[in-house]
Amino acid sequence: MRKVYLDNAATTQVRASVIKKMQDALAECYGNPSSTHSFGRTAKTAIERTRKTIAKYINAHPSEIIFTSGGTEADNMILRCAVRDAKVTTIITTKIEHHAVLHTVEELEKEYGIAVAYVDLDEFGNPKFSHLESLLQADDSKKLVSLMHVNNEIGNITPIGEIASLCKKYNALFHSDTVQSLGHLPFDVQAISADFLTAAAHKFHGPKGIGFAFVRRNSGLKPMIFGGSQERGFRAGTEAFHNIVGLEEAFVCAYDHLEEEKAYVTGLKTYFIDSLKKAIPGVIFNGHSGDLEKSTYTLVNVRLPFDAQKSLMLLFQLDIKGIACSKGSACQSGSDLGSHVLTEILNSEEMKKPSIRFSFSKFTTEEDLDYVIQELKTFSEN
């Protein structure tokens, strides 16, 4: 049976060069990076090299890069520390953020009694700038705005440069979950005056369990995890050295091949949209996912014109045929509540139709897409 992987927004296939780097690290560079002997110094040197490499590609200072276990930890760390250390008393966000942000904000509201305000969305799922500005100027409380760059379910690209400028105008901190965009879009943190960004290596063909936070200097944030002096004392715990060198290799490959791989994947997305429209009339693309200018080139979120009963079996049937895709974020696996993102932008009748996220990568082929479209067409006709 053919196997087709179209769930790259959940996680990506690891590049061969990344696997090789990690294997070499595990076999040959096993010293504890905090040890002062040569084995430890070798590992420590590689970690600091990775920090400098990431900083170079996004135009940051190496001290602003903090390695974490991934995007969820980075989001938690930034939001919690901002409330605890930067004395944030109001968080402004939207109801379609990743749950790493939404659930953290909900807990902070309970623990610290902070105020939480949600920016209104338009019909496509974009935050309304006029409402955001009104929330920023509502009172004199210390505010933090948390808005993701690329939505992980519908792919909308939020103009975070403009939002960062707006936040600066009103003396608010700005955090953006950039897990779906770092490694896929160019970044310059001097041009985008965000205070905090997050990344996860497994979204750009690196290993799971490693990511980083960009924390702008002089932010006032203090450690959330205490123990040793790793990460300049900001995050204690022996570093996952093999994952860090894997992150470096994946990050370098992502940006060194960005233009060619972006062009290739954009071509796949265009081909998929055009082919699906021809094969299944009435198909709709949720949010801006069908718009190449307003959404990431890596995914589409498709609403199919199938009845409710047929919809129940769709993902199961695709899985039987060897096709991997999803209804939404993989972090919601096992939940019967459906997509919290689509719930915010679709009405009850629209929610009855099956919506599926297909996400692409450099490893995807047109033959893969042809197979998926044929299976969808066959399913719709039976």
Average pLDDT on 252-277 reads: 98
pTM summary value = 0.95
Whether the per-residue pLDDT at 18 is higher than 70: the answer is yes
Model pLDDT, residue 361: 98
Q: What are residue 145's DSSP bridge partners?
A: 92, 174
What rounded mean pLDDT belongs to the chain?
95
Q: How confident is the model at residue 21 (pLDDT cuts 50, 70, 90)?
A: very high
Average pLDDT on 254-276 reads: 98
Q: Which of 14-18, 19-23, 308-312 has the lowest mean pLDDT?
A: 308-312
Whether the per-residue pLDDT at 331 is higher than 70: the answer is no
Catalytic member of 167, 253, 325, 331:
331
Q: How far apart are CA 77 and CA 49, in angstroms?
A: 23
Model pLDDT, residue 356: 96
**Residue partners of 20: CB distance under 8 A and separation at least 6:** none
Structure tokens at 199: 């990344």
Q: How confident is the model at residue 309 (pLDDT cuts 50, 70, 90)?
A: confident
Q: How far apart are CA 117 and CA 46, in angstroms?
A: 42
Whether the per-residue pLDDT at 260 is higher than 70: the answer is yes
Q: How far apart are CA 217 and CA 196, in angstroms?
A: 10
Model pLDDT, residue 336: 52
- Each residue's pLDDT tens digit, 315-327: 899 999 999 999 8
Model pLDDT, residue 312: 82
Average pLDDT on 342-362 reads: 95
Average pLDDT on 176-197 reads: 97
- Each residue's pLDDT tens digit, 53-92: 999 999 999 999 999 999 999 999 999 999 999 999 999 9
User: Known catalytic residue: 331?
Assistant: yes
Q: How confident is the model at residue 329 (pLDDT cuts 50, 70, 90)?
A: low
Model pLDDT, residue 1: 80
The domains located in the chain, with CATH, are 4-12+258-381 (3.90.1150.10), 16-256 (3.40.640.10)
Whether the per-residue pLDDT at 372 is higher than 90: the answer is yes
**Residue partners of 6: CB distance under 8 A and separation at least 6:** 323, 324, 325, 358, 359, 360, 364, 368, 372
The answer to whether residues 5 and 268 touch, using CB atoms and an 8 Å cutoff, is no
How would you class 17 by CB atoms within 10 Å of its CB: exposed for 0-12, middle for 13-18, buried for 19 or more? middle
Q: How confident is the model at residue 335 (pLDDT cuts 50, 70, 90)?
A: very low
